[in-house]
């Protein structure tokens, strides 16, 4: 368990989820910098966790350069901001982490990439208590990881939403359809939290010739795989555009 003195820049949806997870697990007690605070890092800061929006990260981190201790590492949870760009501004080793907001309940998942072993170790100390941490060996893989993990809870929520709409179309009252779809999503989440493979989890519910198999076949025919591919490709393209690799 890590008790690294860290500074958390940005206390929005993800920043507050991280702070909550570290409080819950006792893994870290970050000094939190919001917009209202003087932009100064405490002198014992070993890691600066950057959790502001990609669009305004430069203006947010630049004032911290003078107070950031020389031995500190930078932990960026921002989508689509390249490590080299952050290092160019702050001149410290960078590790990029792409977590989900379930870090608040210490049930997240987080992809990690750095070309610096020390920075990667700091990220593991901070995120192992909060998430299933997945090491990546190329920075470019963070873009698909962002799509498949950081963004994907919203994809599952969107699926539950259209499922509830379909339930209403099939005759369910709206409130009942929504509660049932949300409950189904929770049940799927409970299955995903076990060691069973995804195939096994599907097989436990779908018996040959049954209702679930009929629904799965209809989903496949309607293009579920193409829809997932389109979502991941679009999110990856957006991450690359944010990084300035191609027009936004």
Ligand X SMILES: NC(=O)c1ccc[n+]([C@@H]2O[C@H](COP(=O)([O-])OP(=O)(O)OC[C@H]3O[C@@H](n4cnc5c(N)ncnc54)[C@H](OP(=O)(O)O)[C@@H]3O)[C@@H](O)[C@H]2O)c1
CB of 116 to ligand X, least distance (A): 20
34 contributes a contact to ligand X by CB under 6 A: yes
The CA-atom distances, in angstroms, between 90 and each of 183, 225, 236 are 45, 41, 26
Phi (first) and psi of residue 46, to 5 degrees: -100, -20
79 contributes a contact to ligand X by CB under 6 A: yes
- Can you tell me which of 54, 144, 191, 203 binds ligand X, judged by CB under 6 A? 54
Instruction: Tell me the residue ranges of DSSP E strands in the chain.
Output: 6-9, 31-33, 47-50, 73-76, 94-99, 108-113, 131-135
CB of 226 to ligand X, least distance (A): 25
105 contributes a contact to ligand X by CB under 6 A: no
Site string for ligand X, 118-157 (x = CB under 6 A): --------------------------------x-------
Of 71-79, 162-170, 208-216, 220-228, which segment contacts ligand X by CB under 6 A? 71-79
CB of 62 to ligand X, least distance (A): 9
235 contributes a contact to ligand X by CB under 6 A: no
- For the chain, the first-to-last Cα distance in angstroms comes to 40
Choose between 5 and 99: whose C-beta lies nearer to ligand X. 99
Choose between 12 and 244: whose C-beta lies nearer to ligand X. 12
- Can you tell me which of 35, 179, 186, 204 binds ligand X, judged by CB under 6 A? 35
Secondary structure of residue 187 in the 3-state scheme: helix
51 contributes a contact to ligand X by CB under 6 A: yes
The CA-atom distances, in angstroms, between 72 and each of 75, 80, 83, 243 are 10, 22, 15, 24
104 contributes a contact to ligand X by CB under 6 A: no
Choose between 11 and 92: whose C-beta lies nearer to ligand X. 11
* CA separation for the pair 102, 110 (Å, rounded): 10
CB of 165 to ligand X, least distance (A): 24
Residue located via tokens 């198999």: 213
* CA separation for the pair 135, 55 (Å, rounded): 26
List the structure tokens of 238.
């957006």
Choose between 119 and 242: whose C-beta lies nearer to ligand X. 242
The CA-atom distances, in angstroms, between 62 and each of 66, 122, 169 are 8, 22, 53
List the structure tokens of 205.
């519910």
CB of 18 to ligand X, least distance (A): 9
Q: Which residues bind ligand X (CB under 6 A)?
A: 9-15, 33-35, 51-54, 56, 60, 77-79, 98-99, 101, 150
């Amino acid at each position: 368990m890590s008790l690294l003195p860290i500074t958390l820049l940005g206390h929005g949806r993800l920043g507050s989820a991280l702070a909550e997870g570290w409080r819950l697990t006792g893994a870290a007690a970050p000094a939190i910098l919001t917009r209202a605070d003087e932009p100064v890092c405490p002198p014992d800061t070993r890691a600066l966790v950057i959790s502001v929006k990609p669009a305004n990260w430069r203006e947010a981190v630049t004032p911290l350069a003078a107070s950031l201790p020389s031995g500190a590492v930078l932990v960026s949870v921002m989508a689509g901001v390249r490590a080299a760009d952050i290092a160019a501004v702050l001149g410290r080793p960078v590790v990029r982490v792409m977590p989900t907001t379930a870090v608040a309940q210490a049930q997240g998942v987080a992809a990690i990439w750095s070309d610096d072993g020390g920075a990667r170790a700091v990220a593991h100390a901070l995120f192992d208590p909060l998430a299933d941490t997945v090491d990546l060996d190329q920075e470019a893989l963070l873009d698909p990881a962002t799509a498949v993990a950081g963004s994907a809870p919203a994809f599952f929520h969107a699926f539950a939403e259209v499922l509830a709409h379909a339930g209403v179309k099939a005759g369910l009252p709206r409130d009942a359809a929504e509660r049932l779809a949300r409950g189904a999503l929770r049940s799927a989440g409970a299955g995903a939290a076990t060691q069973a493979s995804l195939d096994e989890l599907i097989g436990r519910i779908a018996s040959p010739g049954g209702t679930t198999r009929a629904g799965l076949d209809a989903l496949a025919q309607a293009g579920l795989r193409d829809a997932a591919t389109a979502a991941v490709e679009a999110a990856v393209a957006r991450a690359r555009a944010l990084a300035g690799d191609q027009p936004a």
